[in-house]
Structure 1
Amino acid sequence: MGEWDYWFVSGAGYAFAVLPGHEDDPRLVRHDEWTERPEELPRSRCHGGPRGLLDLDTDRAEVGREAARRWDDWRRFADRHTGPESVLRAIAKDPELEERFTHDPYNWFGRDREAYIAERVADVLPTPAMLTLAGRWVEYGGPGYRQWFNAYLQDLPADTMVVRVLYHS
């Protein structure tokens, strides 16, 4: 709605993976101004760079594998109990189970394994807002935003600079 008071190049803990073999490319952005002690990034991570040098798939694949394991663990756990009430009582008694499966696992995991995995994967790259090449400011607005964000980022020309910033307005 307004203008930015200030902004910083920073991944705020969400750095991009670098496409293997391009870790030393001088066009990669590794400059965190937000913290007093700049974040030390491994060569395989950066705050931005040309879209073609960013590995957008590695982090998504890792999250997808973990989501699949978690969903499978959930199904095995739920199948060992007789009915939803039994499952929820078991989870309520054990903080580790609640941390692993949430207090509302039937809603969180849903019925479909692939849909659950796709939801987790869709969350990996999106930030709360994006400034498009056309100058349009797009803010998070539900499930459609994540799909739009991922498709927009994936479809950018390889030489387009993509940089994560923290801003204040």
Structure 2
Amino acid sequence: MAGESLLVCTERSDAPLYEKISSAMEPFGGEGTGEWATWWIGESGSEFIVKSGSEGDPRLLREFTNARGELRDIPPHLCDGGPVGLLDLAAHRLRAAERARERWTMWQGLVRQFPAARTLREFMDKDPEATEIRPGKAWVRYRSQPLMTYVLARPELHQKVGDDAVATFGIGLDAYMARCSRRAFAVDSLLTVGGEWVDVGSLSTADEYYDFFSKSVETLEPDNGIAFLTYRC
């Protein structure tokens, strides 16, 4: 069952976190009319790192089965959510930077096998009809490059590096790692403490969305709740 990912931030209260998440999600539900039709705890690969010594705290959320009933292996130092004060957000950002370095190394090995490729922006700048939403012929020319033809034909690789991989990795290793660290918590959508559902289409640019996402997490108090969810529209 495919789904979108969501980070939910909850108010400070003594209620169990699952109950607070359910209350926060309720206004946005509805088959065909809301943001979600079904949702479940957990987003594989995006688990939070638990602070050392807090691994057994009962306030932490861990969902050991997914929506298909398949078992998820969640070691004690990871969880799907909990009070912010129990989570090592700095380690989470560091992990994101380390994963970025791994992708960077993989990408460098790949590009050496193909002729140099140009960014999508370079093609768009030469096409007066191209827009951010509808790049049109610029996209066709971009994806026809041998490197991007190879990437786009492989869904797993495409998902890992993104549509505009030439530009993404073209900023340099240090800048790329810093960007990924800053975006460590960003997923498809965010439900803020104030009850606002935000996705990348809610703001003018993707960069604004990621900056908003990062600041929303950074300003949480230790007893705010936070959790990764997966939802289906």
Please give the range of the TM-score, normalised by the shorter of the 2 chains. 0.7 to 0.9
- Name stretches of at least 5 consecutive residues in structure 2 with no aligned partner: 1-32, 118-145, 151-156
Query: Counterparts of 2:187 and 2:110 in 1: how far apart (Å)?
Result: 33
Query: 1:69/1:20 Cα in 2 relative to 1: closer, same or farther (>3 Å)?
Result: same
Residue 221 of structure 2: aligned partner: 157
State yes or no: 1:119 paired with 2:179. Answer: yes
Q: Paired residue for 2:43?
A: 11
Aligned CA distance change for structure 1 residues 101 and 146 (closer, same or farther; 3 Å)? closer
State the identity as a percent.
Answer: 30
Secondary structure of 2:71's counterpart equals coil
Where in structure 1 do 4 or more consecutive aligned residues deviate above 4 Å? Answer: 68-78, 99-102
RMSD over aligned CA atoms reads: 3.6
Q: Which moved more, 1:131-140 or 1:9-18?
A: 9-18
- Which deviations, in whole Å up to 9, do the C-alpha atoms of 1:85-144 show, x marking residues without a partner? 5x56xx95xx8xxx7999x87523224443222222234321111111111111124122
Q: Which residue of 2 aligns with 1:40?
A: 73
- What secondary structure, in the 3-state scheme, does the structure 1 residue paired with 2:198 have? strand
- 1:145 maps to a residue whose letter is Y
Q: Which runs of structure 2 are paired with 1:126-137 in the superposition (5 Å)?
A: 126-137=186-197
TM-score by length of 1: 0.72
Deviation for aligned residue 1:4: 3.0
Matching residue of 1:167: 231
Q: Which residue of 2 aligns with 1:143?
A: 207
Letter of the structure 2 residue corresponding to residue 115 of structure 1: A
Contact 1:130-1:138 at 8 Å conserved across structures: yes
CA 67–26 in structure 1, closer or farther in 2 if over 3 Å, else same: same
Q: Report deviation, 1:50.
A: 0.3
TM-score (norm 2): 0.55
